Amino acid sequence: MTSTSPDRRPTLADVAARAGVSTALASIVMRDAPGASTATRERVRRAADEIGYRPDARARLLRSSRSRLIGVVFGVQHAFHGDLLAGLYDAAEEAGYELALSAVTPGRGEQRAVESLLRDRCEALVLLGPSSPTAHLADLATRLPVVVVARSVRSAAVDVVRTADDEGMHLALDHLVALGHHDVVHVDGGRAPGAAERRRGYREAVRRHGLVPRVLPGGLTEDDGAAAARTLLAGSLPSAVTVFNDRCAVGLLDVLRLAGRTVPGDVSVVGYDDSRIARLSSVDLTSVAQDVGQLTEFAVRRALDRLDGVPVEQRELVVRPRLVVRSTTAPPR
């Protein structure tokens, strides 16, 4: 009877040796291919279970004529991308596909992340909030189906699934004005995907309510929010703030509270994305929610439609947001 070292992963050869069959026969069983008796199949599968063998699904897919892999590029700095990945896994699995992930980090650019997935023979790409120029995305779409999520792209070659970000900011401002706020500052996302739409939505809503717009530089991270909070504290503190995303809002909340300002007593704060960080009991952030289920289901379905040659009427699919009210907003004092 064979045994495997706890330091290495069991192989197909280990399974064959334990079951007393050839490696070729063990491969037939593990691939559910014809050529093995019922008794042999049971013996081989029992041996695999006993030694903890798991087939390498990625290798099997790459050996087939179609990889059945959808490549996903995501940013490690985006908390919301983690929520999107969970939804994409569910949608891909239901369609019989696997995901191959490639991260964009401070030291690993988007182009490198994409090239890694192309080497994996992915059939289609889903790009979460990409920063690449439109021309580059359009060129990439000539090689394989490309679906961009959470960013508007003006190109007939690229499919887009996104939230109506301007409408999300309308919801945030309407909520704050209904509470009685008349001095609302927006902490911006700079050049991040979606920032321009959210900034536009803020300005539209502020003017519709007869208020004066005021936009401060911000960004993606807690540090950006902290810097914005210090700017606010150095001047006249508004009664409410809308923030580009939840991570930035958390940094802003931290600095305000350390400075002795209460939220929502002194200032109300609204984030964006309704990511997991917003739902933490210690944060409990009012936030504009994006519909993860719809965004991810639409993205996978559009990629598969392109692969299957299904006619597509709308290049861009826009999902409506909703506001989730928690404890960081209240009427002004």
In this prediction, residue 1 carries a pLDDT of 47
In three-state form (DSSP H/G/I as H, E/B as E, the rest C), the secondary structure along the chain is CCCCCCCCCCCHHHHHHHHCCCHHHHHHHHCCCCCCCHHHHHHHHHHHHHHCCCCCHHHHHHHCCCCCEEEEEEECCCHHHHHHHHHHHHHHHHCCCEEEEEEEECCECHHHHHHHHHHCCCCEEEEECCCCCHHHHHHHCCCCCEEEECCCCCCCCCEEEEECHHHHHHHHHHHHHHHCCCCEEEECCCCCCCHHHHHHHHHHHHHHCCCCCCEECCCCCHHHHHHHHHHHHCCCCCCEEEECCHHHHHHHHHHHHHCCCCCCCCCEEEEEECCHHHHCCCCCCEEEECCHHHHHHHHHHHHHHHHHCCCCCCCEEEECCEEECCCCCCCCC
CA 311/CA 314 separation, integer angstroms: 9
Verify that 223 and 84 share a domain, yes or no: no
Total number of domains constituting the chain: 3
CA 105/CA 128 separation, integer angstroms: 13
Verify that 182 and 277 share a domain, yes or no: yes
Residue whose tokens read 């003006």: 154
The model's confidence at residue 239, banded by pLDDT at 50, 70 and 90, is very high
Verify that 245 and 172 share a domain, yes or no: yes
Q: Is residue 2 part of a domain?
A: no
Residue whose tokens read 């023979």: 121
Verify that 147 and 263 share a domain, yes or no: no
CA 93/CA 70 separation, integer angstroms: 11
Verify that 306 and 218 share a domain, yes or no: no
In this prediction, residue 120 carries a pLDDT of 87
In this prediction, residue 65 carries a pLDDT of 54
For residues 323 and 288, is the Cβ–Cβ distance under 8 A? Answer: yes
Verify that 183 and 269 share a domain, yes or no: yes
In this prediction, residue 136 carries a pLDDT of 95
Instruction: For residue 193, give every residue at least 6 positions away whose Cβ sits within 8 Å of its Cβ, in sequence order, or none.
Output: 129, 130, 131, 150, 151
Verify that 196 and 158 share a domain, yes or no: no
Residue 42: CATH number of its domain:
1.10.260.40
Q: 49-79 pLDDT, tens per residue? A: 999 888 766 555 545 556 789 999 999 988 8
Verify that 105 and 38 share a domain, yes or no: no
For residues 219 and 190, is the Cβ–Cβ distance under 8 A? Answer: yes
Parent domain of 91:
69-162+292-319
Verify that 185 and 37 share a domain, yes or no: no
Q: 83-97 pLDDT, tens per residue? A: 999 999 999 999 999
Q: Is residue 332 part of a domain?
A: no
Q: What is the mean pLDDT of residues 136-156?
A: 94
Q: Is residue 200 part of a domain?
A: yes
Q: Is residue 5 part of a domain?
A: no
Residue 152: CATH number of its domain:
3.40.50.2300
Verify that 303 and 280 share a domain, yes or no: no
Q: 251-305 pLDDT, tens per residue? A: 999 999 999 999 999 999 999 999 999 999 999 999 999 999 999 999 999 999 9
Verify that 136 and 48 share a domain, yes or no: no
In this prediction, residue 6 carries a pLDDT of 55
From the number of C-beta atoms within 10 Å of its C-beta (0-12, 13-18, 19+), residue 65 rates as: exposed
Q: Is residue 3 part of a domain?
A: no
For residues 239 and 182, is the Cβ–Cβ distance under 8 A? Answer: yes
